[in-house]
Amino acid sequence: MRDERNQSRAGAFRERHAGAGVELAYAGHQTFLKGDPRDVDDLDDVDVAVLGAPLDAAASNRPGARYGPAAIRKASAWWAYLSGYKGGLTNMNTRAQVDFSDVTVADCGDVPVFPQDQETSAESITAHVATAAEQAFPVLLGGDHYCTYPSYRGFAEAIDADSVGLVQIDAHTDTADESPVLGEHFHGSSTRLIAESDYGDYETVSQIGIRGYESPGFFEFAEESGLNLYTMRDVHERGIRDVVADAIERAADGTDAVYVTFDIDSVDPSVAPGTGTPEPAGLSSRQALTVMELLGTHDAVGAADLMEVAPEYDPTQSTQTLAAYLLVTLIERQFAE
C-alpha cells in the first residue's frame, strides 16, 4: 500500500511549482503528441486516434520498420512540448495561428501483430483501424507498406463506403502482381491490392513522388488502368502544389472519402535515410511538408498512415523527426486551425 503522506506531499509540490505541469519532450509516457493512452473501444470524445503497426515481415529489402511506431511517437513529443499540447502557436511555414486545444489526440498503442502470420496480422490491423475509424480520424504508424492495405480496408468498412480514394506519397508504385519470394501480399503489392479491392480502383489512386525503376511498360499500364501517376519529374516540372491539388481532386472524384498513405522513402534519403528501400532524388522536406499542408485542408481526407520508418538506419534521428512533423502538420490543418 502506498503511503498517503507521500502522495499528498507530491500533490503539494505540484501546487507550489507551476512548471510541474509541463512535461518535457523526453519525459513521461511516449504516446503520439503526448495524447492520452486509450483503449481502441473508448474514443467517443476523441478527434484523432493513433495506432501503431510494428510489423515489417512483408518488407523486401532492409528490415527495421517494426521500430517505426515507437520512434515516431518519441519524436512527436517535441511538438507536444512546444504547444504544451494545449495552447496556441504560430506556424511559421503557413503563417496560420494554431490552437491545439481544438483537437483531442488519443494513442491506442500498437495493434497485435504476428510476424510469422501475415494473414492474422492483416486481420488485426483491419479490425483495430475499423474500430478506431468508427469513432475518430484514424492515423496508423507503420510498419512496412503492406500494412496500408488492411488499414485502408478497415477504414472503408468502418464508414460503410462504396468507394475510397487513395493518395499515395511514395518512391515506388507498390503495384506488383506477385513476388516469387514474398508472394502476392507484400509491401510491393499494397496499392494493387487496394485498387483491386471492393472499395478501390486505379482511377481513384493518385501517386506522388514516384521515381527509380518499375516494370517494363509501366507508363502504358498507368494510362490503360487510369492510375493517376505523378513522378518526381512531374513534381519538378509542374511544382508540388499543382501536383497535390490535381492528385487529391482525382482521388476524391466520385468516392466517399480519401485515405492518405505517406511512405517516408518518398523523401530524399539525404534527408530521411532511415528507411528500408531508399531511392535517390526524392522529395525535399519542404516539399513533403507542403504535401501534408495541402492534404490537411481537404474535407475528403478521412484517414492517414505513415509507413516505412526504420530508425536503426538513421543515427541522427532525422527520419522519425520528419515523419512526426508530417503527421502533426496534417492533423494541425485538419483540426487545429
Tell me how far apart the alpha carbons of residues 300 and 292 are, in angstroms, rounded to a whole number: 14
Cα–Cα–Cα angle for 237, 240, 242, rounded to 5 degrees: 85
Is residue 234 a known part of a binding site? no
DSSP H helical ranges for 17-90: 68-83
* Residue 236 is assigned to a ligand binding site: no
17 marked as binding residue: no
**Number of alpha carbons in the 13 Å side-chain half-sphere of residue 87:** 9
**Of the candidates 297, 300, 262, the residue with the CA atom closest to the CA atom of residue 283:** 262
Q: Does 263 belong to an annotated binding site?
A: yes
Q: How far apart are CA 93 and CA 273, in angstroms?
A: 24
Phi, psi at 303, each rounded to 5°: -165, 160
Long-range contacts of 182-186 (CB under 8 A, 24+ apart): 182/58, 182/60, 185/58, 185/118, 185/122, 185/146, 185/149, 186/58, 186/59, 186/60, 186/146
Q: Is 265 labeled as ligand-binding?
A: yes
Read off the amino acid at residue 256. Answer: D
Task: Tell me if 185 is assigned to a ligand binding site.
Answer: no
CA distance 320 to 78: 12
Nearest to 8 by CA among 19, 29, 16: 16
Q: Length of the chain in residues, anyone?
A: 337
- 119: which residues sit within 8 A by CB, 6+ positions away? none
Specify binding-site residues.
145, 170, 172, 174, 263, 265
Specify binding-site residues for Mn(2+).
145, 170, 172, 174, 263, 265
